[in-house]
Structure formats: C-alpha cells, structure tokens
C-alpha cells in the first residue's frame, strides 16, 4: 500500500501543479485541462478513500475531492501572491516563471497549500505525505496543519522547519535554516508527549526571519519585527523590534 500511495501522491501533486500553472506545466489546451481535472478528481478520490481506510476512519472521499478541485482557482490566486512576494524579494529572480519552475521555496509552499486544504477537510495521512514529499525534494519541512497567511516567501529554503501549530501572518519571509519549533513537550502520565498542545511560534504580519534563526515555543513575534541570523528566541518579541547578535570583539 505504501508504494501505491507514494505513486499516487506524486501524480496528484503533478496534476495540481499543471492545473494551477497551466502556462508552465500544461501539455495542451482546454480539452487537456478538462481531462486533467477529471483524472485528478478520480485519482484524488481513490487516494483519499485509501487514506481513510488506512486510518480506520470513514469519509466521503468523492465530496472531498470535488471540493478540493473546486478550490483550485482560489488556491492559484493565493499562490500568485506567494510567487510575487518571492520574486519581489529576490534581486536574482529574473521573472515569475523562473520562480515557479526553479525555486524550492515555491515548490514547498505550493505543496503545503495543497496539503493544508486536504488537512482542513479532515483527510488523514495524505496531507503529511504531500508535505513530506516536498520535504524530500527541497529540504523544507512544513507541517500541513500550520496556518500561513498570504504573500509568504522562503528564500533559499534548505533546512526550514515550520511546526504543526505555528501561525504565520501575511507577508512573512523566512531564510534558509529557520526553525519554528517547540520549546518543550508536556508529557502525560505514561511519559508520552501530549497531543494537540499549542507549542509553536506565532509570527505576525511583515516579519522577516534571517538564516539559521531558531524560534521555539508558543511565543509571538510582533508585526514588522526582524529576527537576525543565528538567533535563538524563546520569548515574545514586540512589533517593529530588531533582534540581532551582540557584536563580536576581536583582539
């Protein structure tokens, strides 16, 4: 079953990208798009059904698949804002097509946004499979349950981790190696981590986090704040603050 799921996940993501960015990934015109949409509906419905069964749960896989496909135009609008934020934030980017085709950040973000819709629809397993596929492709690990606003950009990207209960506002930008993680795990009576605890950071609008910064715990980084590189943050940061390393002195 795992090999079958892996194959289906890759195909689902590829079809989604083709429908989301037809100018770059499509193989034909209007008829091709309709055929691709129908194939996605069928494949997604079957895979969702398999995931429900593997989790010992019941769900209307056909309805979920139909709602997902109907949401693709709205998803395209959201991704356009992510692409534009990435393009505008990188002087090396020559055009938005290059960003969509080449940038690992956009590949990971698009997979996250696909997975997040399915996660919010209650689909088990599949959202994690989609984001873990992107993780293996890009080195960027975004949990599908995380909440991420519009115009999100990840520059370079390798090593970025965004935990399950993280909340990111609009126009947030992260650089490579950033971790939005948990500071600690409350344990139950048997010594196992308690599930569902809000344990990851909140980043408000217009926050920038530079490379290899680590932000841990349910802390809030206020809007328009900047977190410098190689910083370890475990407390709230006020709006408009600049958090940087102390300057080194050389003798």
With a cut of 70, list the residues of the chain below it in pLDDT: 1-4, 248-251
What global pTM score does this model have? 0.94
Q: Which CATH architecture has domain 1-140?
A: Orthogonal Bundle (1.10)
In order, the DSSP letters of 32-85 are HHHHHHHHHHHHHHHHHHHHHHHTT----HHHHHHHHHHTHHHHHHHHHHHHHH
CATH 1.10.3130.10 positions along the chain are: 1-140
pLDDT score for 248:
67
Q: pLDDT tens for residues 190-206?
A: 888 888 899 999 999 99
Q: pLDDT tens for residues 27-81?
A: 777 788 899 999 999 999 999 999 999 999 989 999 999 999 999 999 999 999 9
CATH 2.160.10.10 positions along the chain are: 146-251
- As given in the structure block, the two tokens for residue 10 are 């890759």
Domain 146-251 class?
Answer: mainly beta
Place of tokens 């956009």: 106
């Amino acid at each position: 079953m795992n090999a079958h799921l892996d194959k289906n996940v890759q195909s689902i993501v590829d079809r989604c990208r083709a429908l989301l960015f037809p100018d770059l990934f499509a193989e034909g015109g209007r008829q091709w798009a309709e055929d691709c949409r129908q194939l996605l509906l069928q494949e997604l419905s079957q895979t969702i059904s398999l995931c429900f069964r593997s989790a010992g749960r019941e769900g209307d896989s056909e309805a979920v698949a139909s709602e997902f496909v109907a949401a693709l135009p709205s998803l395209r609008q959201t991704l356009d804002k992510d692409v534009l934020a990435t393009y505008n934030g990188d002087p090396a980017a020559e055009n938005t097509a290059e960003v969509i085709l080449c940038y690992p950040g956009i590949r990971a973000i698009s997979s996250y946004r696909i997975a997040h819709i399915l996660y919010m629809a209650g689909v088990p397993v599949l959202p994690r499979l989609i984001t873990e596929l992107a993780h293996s492709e890009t080195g960027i690990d975004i949990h599908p349950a995380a909440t991420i606003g519009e115009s999100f950009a990840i520059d370079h990207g390798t090593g970025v981790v965004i935990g399950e209960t993280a909340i990111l506002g609009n126009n947030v930008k992260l650089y490579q190696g950033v971790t939005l993680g948990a500071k600690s795990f409350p344990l139950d009576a048997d010594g196992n981590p308690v599930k569902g605890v809000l344990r990851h950071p909140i980043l408000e609008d217009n926050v920038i986090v530079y490379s290899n910064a680590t932000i841990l715990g349910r802390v809030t980084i206020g809007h328009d704040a900047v977190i410098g590189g190689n910083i370890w943050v475990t407390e709230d940061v006020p709006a408009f603050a600049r958090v940087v390393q102390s300057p080194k002195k050389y003798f």
